[in-house]
Amino acid sequence: MEKAKILKLVVLLAFLMLRPTVFGDPPAPSEDYSTRPLCQSQFMLVNHACATIPFNPVPVPVPSTPEQPGRPLPPSPAHPDIYMHRHRNHRRHEKRDLYAESPAERECCRWLNTVDDECICDILVHLPTFLSRPVHEYTVTLTETCRVTFSCPSRVKI
This prediction's pTM: 0.51
Mean pLDDT, rounded, of the chain: 72
pLDDT in tens, 28-45: 555 555 556 789 999 999
What tens digit of pLDDT does each residue of 109-131 get?
999 999 999 998 888 877 777 76
Would the pLDDT of 9 be above 60?
yes
DSSP secondary structure string, the chain?
-HHHHHHHHHHHHHHHHH-----SPPPPPSS-TTSS--HHHHHHHHHHHHTTSPP-PPPPPPPPPPPPTTSPPPPPPSSHHHHHHHHHHHHHHHHHHH----HHHHHHHHHHHTS-HHHHHHHHTTS-GGG--SSEEEEEE-SSS-EEEEEE------
pLDDT at 75 over 90: no
Packing angle, helices 117-124 and 39-50, rounded to 10: 90
